[in-house]
């Protein structure tokens, strides 16, 4: 062992070259693995950074609100493991108190919307709402409660906590008659809070009264009217399983939107905003694939460089080797000395490489790198040594000079 260390010190230049070679290999490998890993991580985090948004639309894709979505589709979507953060609701018309069918025109002045989430109303934020009690509870309740627009409260001189008789009509969409309202029920609903917002960017009429979707559901059930949502949007739960998701959507009867389809209110198409996601994911996957396919090449390169470097560095040591043998040192002993020497140098280079790269890389990569490089370099070295070991001592020492 001490002979090996002595050799390292005396052979400063060559030792240095070995260390540098191992250092460079380590650094290169770190970069390679680091890139591969960061690509993988990017792919893993892609769904969070670039969520895939979906909307139910009419077949031509021209409408995403005010449509009529079949109850089976809604239920299928809500039970699907592939979707998350669903936002949906139904739009109704309403008036106050009882009135006869003929009087609808004067009385049906209110826009009523039942939603499962505040996000269902574009432009409305929690800051616009004054509510007693927990705001989140409101949308999850099925109690007869509502949130009323401030202007409407003032006009009718209503107070929060008061109960009002809400005459609800639902929209029916029909290919022949188009949209028309049909009386639903006149429940007494308690004013749980008020809201105040000026306008929405969408140009869509903002609702005068907000109901929790659970209440609408209960009312529809009571009246045995199928609840058909007016809008439904959600995010894909795991965009990396986009294909499985799309299969399921197809099985629910949702089609892809088709610009040439006839305009209608039928909510039976699905718009998936996955272009960006798909192209990014494909890019990343391609990059990872390329990196992986280079793995073998890189390993072979390292082995090759290790072999060539150690052969070149060892060539000058042939004589030394033969001399040690001539003095009576065993073959294995000689190989061991040189091998140990190279191992020390390689490890030094690798460790320096690790330390340099540790700033922007973590340890588990370092370990793989070390093993591959140490393995590569040392097996090259071993090959070179066994070649030297086979040369006849005699031919080395007695070569005519």
Distance CA 201, CA 242 (A): 31
Q: Indicate which of another protein, ligand ATP, none lies near residue 7 (CB less than 5 to 8 Å, by partner kind).
A: another protein
CB of 389 to ligand ATP, least distance (A): 17
Distance CA 28, CA 175 (A): 67
Q: Indicate which of another protein, ligand ATP, none lies near residue 308 (CB less than 5 to 8 Å, by partner kind).
A: none
Find tokens 């490998």 and name the residue.
29
CB of 30 to ligand ATP, least distance (A): 46
Closest-approach residue to ligand ATP (CB): 395
CB of 308 to another protein, least distance (A): 22
Q: Which stretches within 273-330 are classed as H helix?
A: 275-315, 318-326
b/e burial code for range 251-287 (CB count within 10 A of at least 16 → b): ebebeebeeebeebbbbbbbbbebeebeeebeebeeb
Residue with Cβ nearer another protein (49 or 390): 390
Nearest to 276 by CA among 113, 49, 95, 61: 49
Distance CA 101, CA 154 (A): 27
Q: Which among 2-10, 33-41, 159-167, 348-356 is the span making contact with another protein, rule CB under 8 A?
A: 2-10
Q: Which among 41-49, 101-109, 200-208, 387-395 is the span making contact with another protein, rule CB under 8 A?
A: 387-395
Nearest to 143 by CA among 193, 217, 92, 234: 217
394 binds another protein (CB under 8 A): yes
Q: Indicate which of ligand ATP, another protein, none lies near residue 126 (CB less than 5 to 8 Å, by partner kind).
A: none
* Three-state DSSP state, 165: strand
Cβ neighbours of 110 (radius 10 Å): 20
Distance CA 89, CA 74 (A): 10
CB of 384 to ligand ATP, least distance (A): 21
390 binds another protein (CB under 8 A): no
Residue with Cβ nearer ligand ATP (155 or 399): 399
Q: Indicate which of ligand ATP, another protein, none lies near residue 12 (CB less than 5 to 8 Å, by partner kind).
A: none
330 binds another protein (CB under 8 A): yes
Q: Which residue of 126, 295, 360, 398 would you call a contact of another protein, by CB under 8 A? A: 398
Distance CA 187, CA 101 (A): 17
Alpha carbon of 217 to those of 89, 182, 206, 224: distances in Å?
Answer: 10, 16, 21, 10
4 binds another protein (CB under 8 A): no
Q: Indicate which of ligand ATP, another protein, none lies near residue 363 (CB less than 5 to 8 Å, by partner kind).
A: none
Alpha carbon of 55 to those of 58, 257, 273, 282: distances in Å?
Answer: 10, 11, 8, 23
Name, in order, each residue with C-beta under 8 angstroms of 113's C-beta and a sequence gap of 6 or more.
89, 90, 91, 92, 120, 121, 207, 209, 210, 211
Residue with Cβ nearer another protein (253 or 330): 330
Residue with Cβ nearer another protein (68 or 310): 310
What is the footprint of ligand ATP within residues 382-401 (CB under 6 A)?
395, 398-400
Phi then psi dihedrals of residue 67, to 5 deg? -110, 175
CB of 293 to another protein, least distance (A): 40
Check: CB of residue 191 under 8 Å from CB of residue 148: yes
Cβ neighbours of 315 (radius 10 Å): 12
Q: Pattern 287-326, binding to another protein, x per CB under 8 A?
A: --------------------------------xx--x-xx
CB of 323 to ligand ATP, least distance (A): 15
Element (H, E) at 272: strand 269-273
Residue with Cβ nearer another protein (100 or 395): 395
11 binds another protein (CB under 8 A): yes
Residue with Cβ nearer another protein (11 or 64): 11
Name, in order, each residue with C-beta under 8 angstroms of 358's C-beta and a sequence gap of 6 or more.
366
CB of 14 to another protein, least distance (A): 10
Binding residues vs another protein (CB under 8 A): 6-7, 10-11, 319-320, 323, 325-331, 392-395, 397-398, 401
Binding residues vs ligand ATP (CB under 6 A): 395, 398-400
């Amino acid at each position: 062992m001490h002979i090996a260390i002595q050799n390292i010190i005396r052979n400063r230049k060559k030792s240095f070259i070995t260390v540098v070679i191992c250092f460079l290999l380590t650094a290169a490998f770190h970069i390679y693995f680091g890139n591969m890993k960061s690509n993988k991580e990017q792919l893993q985090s892609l769904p969070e950074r670039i969520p895939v948004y979906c909307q139910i639309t009419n077949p031509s894709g021209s409408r995403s609100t005010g449509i009529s979505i079949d109850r089976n589709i809604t239920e299928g979507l809500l039970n699907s493991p592939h979707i998350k953060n669903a936002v949906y609701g139904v739009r109704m018309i309403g008036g106050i108190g009882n009135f006869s069918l003929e009087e609808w025109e004067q009385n049906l002045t209110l826009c009523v919307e039942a939603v499962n989430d505040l996000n269902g109303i574009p432009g409305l934020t929690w800051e616009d709402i004054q509510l007693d009690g927990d705001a989140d509870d409101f949308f999850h309740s099925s109690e007869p409660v509502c949130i009323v627009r401030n202007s409407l409260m003032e006009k009718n001189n209503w107070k929060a906590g008061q109960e009002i008789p809400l005459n609800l009509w639902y929209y029916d969409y029909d290919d022949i008659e188009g949209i028309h309202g049909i009386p639903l029920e006149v429940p007494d609903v308690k004013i749980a809070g008020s809201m105040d917002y000026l306008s929405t960017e969408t140009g869509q009429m903002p609702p005068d009264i907000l109901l929790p979707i659970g209440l609408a559901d209960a009312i529809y059930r009571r009246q045995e009217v199928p609840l058909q949502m007016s809008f439904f949007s959600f995010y894909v739960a795991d965009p990396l399983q986009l294909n499985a998701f799309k299969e399921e959507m197809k099985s629910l009867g949702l089609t892809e939107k088709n610009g040439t389809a006839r305009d209608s209110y039928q909510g039976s198409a699905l718009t998936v905003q996955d272009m960006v996601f798909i192209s990014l994911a494909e890019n990343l996957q391609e990059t990872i694939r390329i990196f992986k396919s280079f793995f073998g090449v890189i390993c072979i390169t390292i082995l090759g460089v290790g072999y060539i470097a150690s052969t070149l560095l060892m060539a000058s040591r042939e004589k030394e080797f033969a001399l040690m043998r001539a003095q009576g040192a065993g073959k294995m002993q000689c190989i061991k000395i040189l091998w140990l020497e190279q191992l020390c140098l390689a490890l030094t280079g690798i460790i320096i490489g690790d330390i340099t790269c540790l700033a922007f890389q973590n340890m588990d990569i370092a370990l793989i790198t070390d093993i591959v490089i140490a393995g590569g370099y040392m097996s090259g070295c071993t090959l070179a040594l066994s070649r030297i070991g086979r040369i006849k001592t005699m031919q080395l020492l007695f070569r005519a000079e």
